[in-house]
Copies of this chain bind each other. A is one copy, B any other.
Amino acid sequence: MFRRKLSSLASKVNDSSTVRLQQNVSKVNCRVPRRCKVLSIDNMNPHVKTMEYAVRGPIVIRAGEIEKELASGKKKPFLEVIRANIGDCHATGQTPLTFIRQVVTLCAYPELIKTSDFPTDAKQRAQRILDGCGGKSVGAYSDSAGVEVIRRDVADYIEKRDGHPANYTDIFLSTGASDGIKSIMKLLMTGKGGKERAGVMIPIPQYPLYTATIAEYNAYPVNYYLDEDNGWALDIDELKRSISAARPECKPRAIVVINPGNPTGQVLTRENIEGIIRFAKEEDLFILADEVYQHNVYAEGSEFHSFKKVLREMGAEYQDMELASFMSTSKGYMGECGFRGGYTEVINLDPDVKYQLSKSVSAKLCPSVIGQACMDTVVNPPVEGEPSYELFIKEKNNVLGLLAQKAKMVTETFNAIEGLSCNVVQGAMYAFPRVEIPEKAIAEAKSSGMSPDALYCFQLLEETGVCVVPGSGFGQREGTFHFRTTILPPVDKLQVLLSHFRDFHQGFLQKYQ
């Protein structure tokens, strides 16, 4: 019984080690006279069991344990864990932008608006937000879609970004982008099983929120492979292959595109986006555009084009297409992950469906109002002539400049290591290098029920303290192996990380040659 459960878990949590799983699988308490659990692994929601979220999976739990071991004085071949598993900017040393924190602070403690300790533009922003809050307090619930003045600022930001109108009633603030994405995906479910399930096209590799949400709602993941040989572009023929293959299994309803890419770091060209939109129109698909990295574009010649802008500049026959675009305070130059700010813009959503969306989010009451205020600082930053402008631009450019430098550094280093290859990190915060894994290592991994890249990443962690996420957590072409690393650690730590990598990789090859 115990063995059966263990192996079934192992087959699902494929980036975990058997050792970890043994710790997680407990004995079922069915001894007489104690009753069985009312809620057990065997009778709980099977869709939750199917869910995976590798970015915070077993390897990250192990990293936390190693940190505790180090803190308790245990000797390791390294001094600290370098966490490159998650796009968590502040955790890896980035300092918050002054203006952002000033505005949220003034919102939380309006007494400070009366002092002379804060610049007038920050005070004015905060007062404006407070005036839009019930009882002028961020402690009041906002409308479920968010504080109206912030929704209006978001619409203005989009309008300026794209050069096309945006309407604040199409803006829904959310608890990070994840919450917005889940709210839209939820609407797309058919409520039916088997071949009547909703099919959602997702890139492979993908950000695991998508597969997790698809699993939770018992929908069908329609996987399309990004073209690694072509800088992780979306190949339209591959989209066609993918949807044709899935039609017998589900009702395809939507396509998810992540641009700039996570975990792959590519920035889509305008032509590529046009092709995707044409495909979505032909196939009657709702487009979910995950555009949370819209400020994170580094490579020369790369530029962010929003799906909405591209769509608006295509022919009249595209103008009624349905699209949702997602944004967050967690990424970009701000990296304010912990504030859980985000928004969704819905375009051409059927008014009846929009009413249902409003109703559906109302049961969650509202996203954190401080998180909403944080979102406001991103869409309504200081402008030239305002007292905070210079510092804001300096801090913003500093963060983005360092990220660009690190994107280059990571790409070049990985490509200089024999057996590793890495597409140019054009944007976002990640590299997704491909790693050749020797046959003997593959065999060892398989015999312990792990994926080979999980074996690789676990050994990397144990030997060097570097925590990255196995490619299997994001999906990859059969027989290829990758890992995702963020480019976030400070330059000196990133150098340590990369040099650890070089040494580890050589040792790994020798061990399994």
Contacts and interface: CB of A to CB of B under 8 A. Distances in A.
A225 interface: no
Contact of A363 (B95, B138, B212, B367): B212
A45 B88 contact: no
Nearest to A27: B351
Nearest to A148: B64
A119 interface: no
B139 A96 contact: yes
Nearest to A317: B33
Interface string A366-401: 111111000000000000000000000000000000
Interface stretch (A129-137, A260-268, A434-442, A453-461): A129-137
Interface string A30-53: 000111011111011111110111
Contacts of A366: 337-338, 340
A362 interface: yes
B350 A187 contact: no
A178 B191 CA distance: 23
Interface in A321-344: 322, 330, 335-340
A319 to B, nearest CB: 9
B339 A144 contact: no
B44 A369 contact: no
A104 interface: yes
A175 B137 contact: no
A48 B360 contact: yes
A176 B142 CA distance: 14
- Residue among A25, A94, A187, A355 facing the most chain B CB atoms (10 A cut-off): A355
B137 A363 contact: no
A137 B44 contact: no
A208 interface: yes
B141 A338 contact: yes
Contacts of A95: 137
Contacts of A28: 350, 352
A374 to B, nearest CB: 9
Contacts of A336: 139
B340 A91 contact: no
A350 B26 contact: yes
Interface of A: 5, 24-26, 28-29, 33-35, 37-41, 43-49, 51-53, 55-57, 64, 86, 88-96, 101-102, 104-105, 108-109, 112, 133-135, 137-144, 175-176, 178-179, 186-191, 193, 208-209, 212-213, 216, 218, 253-254, 284-286, 317, 320, 322, 330, 335-340, 348-353, 355-356, 359-360, 362-371
